[in-house]
Amino acid sequence: MKSIRKYFQRQLLFAIMLGVVIYSLLLGAYLLLQDYSTLLMNSRIIFGGLNTIYTSGTLDDAIIELITKYIPENKFAELKAQQNRTGLEAEGRRVSALLQEMRNQHLQRVVILIEFENLFIFILLFIIVFLFSNTYRFVKKSLVFTQNTLLYFNQALFNRHTLKEIRNDSIPYQEMQEFGNFFTNTMDMIEIIQELQSMDLSFSIEAFIDRFGSVFCSDKYQNLIPCDRFSLALYNNNQNTLVAFHATVRGNRPVFLNKGFTQSLHDTSLKTIVDRRLPYRIINNLQEKNSLSAQLLLKEGISSNLTIPIIVNQRLLGFIFFAHSQPNMYTDDMGNVALLVASILNSRIFYSYALQTSLALFGDGIVNIVEFKDDETADHTRRVSLYASLIAEVLQGQGKITPQKTEEIRFFAPLHDLGKIAIPDSILLKPGKLTDEEWAIMKQHPVIGGKLLKNANDQFINQLGFGMLHTAYNIVMDHHEWWNGTGYPQGKQGMDISLEGQIVAIADVFDALTTKRPYKEAFPIDQALHMLQLQAGTHFNPELIDIFIEKRPHIVQIYQNYYVLG
Residue 73's pLDDT is 84
Domain spans of the chain, in order of start: 4-152, 203-353, 374-562
At 434, which amino acid appears? L
Say how far apart CA 368 and CA 358 lie, in whole Å. 15
The yes-or-no answer to whether 203-353 and 374-562 have a common fold is: no
Phi first, then psi: give them for residue 263, nearest 5 degrees.
-145, 140
Distance CA 409, CA 412 (A): 5
- 56-98 tens-digit pLDDT: 878 888 888 888 888 888 888 888 888 888 888 888 888 888 8
Q: What is the 3-state secondary structure (H, E, C) of 285-326?
A: CHHHCCCHHHHHHHHCCCCEEEEEEEEECCEEEEEEEEEECC
d(CA 156, CA 154) in angstroms, rounded, equals 6
Instruction: End-to-end CA distance of the chain: give it in Å, rounded.
Output: 79
Q: Could you read off the pLDDT tens digit of each residue along the chain, which spans 566 residues? A: 556 666 667 777 877 887 787 788 778 778 878 887 887 888 888 888 888 887 887 888 888 888 888 888 888 888 888 888 888 888 888 888 888 888 888 888 878 877 887 787 788 778 777 777 776 777 677 667 666 666 665 655 555 444 444 444 445 555 556 655 666 666 666 676 666 666 655 556 666 677 777 777 777 777 778 889 988 888 888 788 888 888 888 887 788 888 778 888 887 878 888 888 888 999 989 888 888 888 899 999 999 999 999 887 788 888 989 999 999 999 988 888 888 777 777 766 776 666 666 666 666 666 666 656 555 555 788 899 999 999 999 998 888 987 778 888 988 898 898 888 888 888 887 888 889 999 999 999 999 999 988 988 888 777 666 667 889 999 999 999 999 999 999 999 999 999 999 999 999 999 999 988 777 788 999 999 999 999 999 999 999 999 999 999 999 999 988 775 44
| Residues 6+ positions from 160 with CB-CB distance below 8 Å | 194
CATH T-level topology, domain 374-562: Hypothetical protein af1432 (1.10.3210)
Q: Helices marked H in 159-278 — which ranges? A: 174-198, 205-216, 270-276
What lies within 8 Å, CB to CB, of 353 at 6+ separation is 205, 234, 317
Assigned CATH topology for domain 203-353: Beta-Lactamase (3.30.450)
Instruction: Please compute, for residue 443, the number of CA atoms within 13 A of its CA located in the half-sphere on the CB side.
Output: 14
Report CA torsion sign: 134, 137, 140, 143: negative
Q: What is the dihedral of CA 146, 152, 156, 157, to 10 degrees?
A: 30
Give Dmax (Cα) for the chain: 170
Instruction: Give DSSP secondary structure letters for 415-461.
Output: GTTGGGGGS-HHHHT-SSPPPHHHHHHHTTHHHHHHHHHHHHHHHHH
Does residue 457 contact residue 474 with C-beta atoms inside 8 Å?
no
Q: Which residue, among 213, 248, 227, 472, has the nearest Cα to 367 in the 3D structure?
A: 472
Burial of 83: CB neighbours in 10 Å, binned 0-12, 13-18, 19+? exposed
Residue type, 203: F
- Residues β-bridged to residue 231: 247, 321
Q: What pTM was estimated for this model as a whole? A: 0.53
CA distance 32 to 26: 10
pLDDT digits (tens, 9 = 90+) for 522-555: 899 999 999 999 999 999 999 999 999 999 999 9
**CA-based R_g, the chain, Å:** 48
* Contact indicator for 427, 434 with CB cutoff of 8 Å: yes
**What three-state secondary structure class fits 366?**
helix
Peptide bond into 489 cis (omega under 30): yes
